[in-house]
Each structure stands twice: as C-alpha cells, then as structure tokens.
Chains A and B, each alone.
Chain A
C-alpha cells in the first residue's frame, strides 16, 4: 500500500523578519493534508537547498518581502541545478513587480503569488503542479 504525501519546504530568505504570512500558509497547507517543513526566517539559499534535498520535498515555497527576489530566486534555482535537483518545484510569494515576475517565471519559478492571494489558490496550484498522484 503506497502512502505518498506532498512535501513542501517553506522558507524565508533574506533579512526581513515578518513571518506572519508564511505561517498562515504553512498551517493552510498542513490542513490540506500536506507535510510542511517550516524553516523560519532569514535562511540562506544554501540552507534552503540543502534542506530541500535532505527532506526530499516536492516543492520549495519562498516568501520574499525584502525586495531581494531577483537575487534569491535565481540563486536557489542555480544551486538546485548544481545539485541535480532541478525537479524540485520552486514557487514564491511576496511583493514582486510584474516585469520581474515574468523574468523569474522564464527562469523556472513555477508560480508567483502576490499579496492577498488566498491560501486555497496556493493549495490548488501546488496540487496542479505536483499532479494528483499524491494525497
């Protein structure tokens, strides 16, 4: 009997320390049946990628409010590639201008949620991205 679960790493790279939003998302994902590895705030890209690999997550969800998204997203994508782990889906949320959003999506970020996105929307998108084979 198989018992797969969608596993999601939630982290917050960069210096800003607001964790209320990401905690709400963490609880919502848990309540939808996912296993959420919560890494707190001020994580380095190296910490995030190493954790993603050790936890064998399907998705990395990043919250970036500090304006550092054009550094952190590409850096994490690059590290994943170096570790041959580019199959791990990267998504994110935060205040990200449309222009940057398009650039990041071209680089391989699979979804970017603006402020005020409902948790239901995020859950739906993750399930869509990972496929319905799980849960």
Chain B
C-alpha cells in the first residue's frame, strides 16, 4: 500500500484518498492512522466556530492567505451538517475560499457530519491527524456552533476562534450557550453593517464575568472585523500567533496535547471494547437475554457483568 508513503512525500491526490479512506472507516483505516501517527503533533489546530452565516468561511479565506504569506502550510477542514434523514450534505464553505484554493501550500477539505451530533466527530479528529502528518503548520477547522455541542472543538483545537456578529447580540440564547466559554479569541464580524462596538463591549463584559477565566494567564481578546472589507484581519492573525506562542511558553500546550492523546485512547477503547462485547452478547446469551431483562430475571448490570467476567477477565 503505497498511498501513505506517497502522501508523506507530499502527493496531494494520495492525501485526498487517505482522507476518504479514514472518513469512510475503511478496513485499513487504523493501519493508516498508526503509520501516520509518528508524523503528527507539530501543527497548530485552530477551531473557527460561531452561528450560521456569521462569516466564518470568509474570515478563514483571509486567515489562510495571511498564513501562506508568512510561509506556513495550511490545511482547512470545513464541516457542515449532514441531513439526518437522507445522510446527504450540501457543502458550500469552499465558495468563500476560492481565492486561496489554488495555492500549492493550501489544502481544503469539506466534510459532512455523517450522523454524529455536534460539530466535531471522531472522523474529524482523525482527519486532522492526517493533515498533521502531511506537514501542515496550521490546520483550521470550521464548524457551525451555537449550542451545547461546541465543547467538542476545545478537545481538538489548540486555539478556538468564536465568530459572532453585531446581530448575535439580539440572540440571547447564543450568548448564554456554551459558546461564550470556549473562545480563546472572539471576533465580532460584519462591523461594516452593525453596531460592532456595542457587541465588543458586551462580550468583554461577559468574559470578565466568567470566573473560569480568572486563573488563566490568557484573556481572550475581542476583535472587531469586517471580512468583507478585509478589516481586522491583521489583528486576528496576530492574536492567533500570540495565542500559539502563549501556549508554548506557558507549557499549556503540553497539557492540551496530553489531554488530546488521552481522549484518543479513551475514545478508541470505549468504541472497540463495546463493539467487541456487543458482538459477544447475542452469540453468548442469544436474543432471549433481552426477554430475561424484560421479565426482570436479569438486569442490564448483571448481564454486562457476566459478559465482562467471561470475555475480559
């Protein structure tokens, strides 16, 4: 299988194929990821989240352009929801990134959530690893976020950028939801069409009132921007770099990476052990086991404990 080798040599088509194999959970997925793993761990992972239409993709386009100008290799993962009913998806983030899409140092990939809740799935995390192995210095993940599921992004990204607009201020739900707790950097975009100043002050006050931020040495900056008029971009790039630097100097990066690796182990363990035991459940006890539980002759706990005793001890 030369695909991994070709990819590691810088072949874009091979990279693209590898991503598909990982995303499809193909048979050699784990083998591929294991081969790539030694090459990972050197990239800054940047999550960009915020309500639908707040300008995430347009901002990412500018961010990518500035990163490339600085000599970085950049990967973008743009995630959009898949339809729950049909499994299909309409992936349109790339339209906003056409300006940078032909640059040889840029690789952009669109992904549907394919049935997982939340903006970030296991597959997203694995594809991020693939991009790391490919040698991307900066990896940007775009996810729609306006609710509880946003916390997931903090488990993968080193730097989380939350993109809001002046109108978001009217939507108390958004400000109340988890989104105000996850940002390392806040952007109030579309400053050209609304009262951004007001929103900036509002967010600053919210950040200050959150006690969880007090102990940290990093206070999330709030940037006024207009992706349309290319305003605030330089400041955004500066803050992203500054945050990366902060993580390294403070040693925070080691904690984040340790947590990330731990999560990968725990997730893999959970999934594989549970699949393994589930496969044994029926072959061992037959379908009648659920009847036994229904009749209260067994409990879910006694069944699982019997399984564990038999197959894991």
Does A40 lie within 8 Å of B108, measured CB to CB?
A: no
**Complex alpha-carbon distance, A46 and B104, angstroms:** 12
- The chain A residue sitting closest to B15, CB to CB, is A54
- The chain B residue sitting closest to A29, CB to CB, is B88
**Complex alpha-carbon distance, A37 and B108, angstroms:** 12
Give chain A nearest CB distance to B251 CB in angstroms: 35
Listed residue (B27, B87, B88, B114) with the most chain A CB atoms within 10 angstroms of its CB: B88
Contact partners of A39 in chain B: CB under 8 A: 94-95, 98
The answer to the question of A31 belonging to the interface, with a C-beta cut-off of 8 Å to chain B, is: yes
Does A31 lie within 8 Å of B25, measured CB to CB?
A: no
Does A35 lie within 8 Å of B102, measured CB to CB?
A: no
Does B88 lie within 8 Å of A50, measured CB to CB?
A: no
Q: Which of B16-24, B43-51, B156-164, B229-237 contacts A (4 or more CB under 8 A)?
A: B16-24
> Which residue in A26, A31, A55, A83 is a CB contact (below 8 Å) of B86?
A31
Does B90 lie within 8 Å of A53, measured CB to CB?
A: no
Does B101 lie within 8 Å of A38, measured CB to CB?
A: no
| Residues of A contacting B: mostly | mixed
**Complex alpha-carbon distance, A51 and B13, angstroms:** 11
The answer to the question of A72 belonging to the interface, with a C-beta cut-off of 8 Å to chain B, is: no
Give chain A nearest CB distance to B84 CB in angstroms: 12
Given contacts A2-B24, A37-B94, contact A30 B88 (CB under 8 A): yes
**Among all A-B residue pairs, the 10 with the closest Cβ atoms:** A30-B88, A40-B95, A56-B16, A33-B88, A56-B20, A30-B90, A33-B86, A38-B92, A35-B89, A33-B87
Given contacts A30-B89, A47-B102, 18 further A-B contacts (CB under 8 A): A2-B27, A3-B23, A5-B88, A5-B112, A31-B88, A34-B88, A35-B110, A35-B112, A37-B94, A39-B98, A51-B94, A51-B101, A54-B101, A54-B107, A55-B109, A56-B17, A83-B13, A85-B13
28 contacts between A and B (CB under 8 A): A2-B24, A2-B26, A2-B27, A3-B23, A5-B112, A29-B88, A30-B89, A34-B88, A35-B112, A36-B90, A37-B94, A38-B90, A38-B91, A38-B92, A38-B95, A39-B94, A40-B95, A47-B98, A51-B108, A53-B12, A54-B12, A55-B16, A56-B16, A56-B19, A56-B20, A84-B13, A85-B13, A135-B87
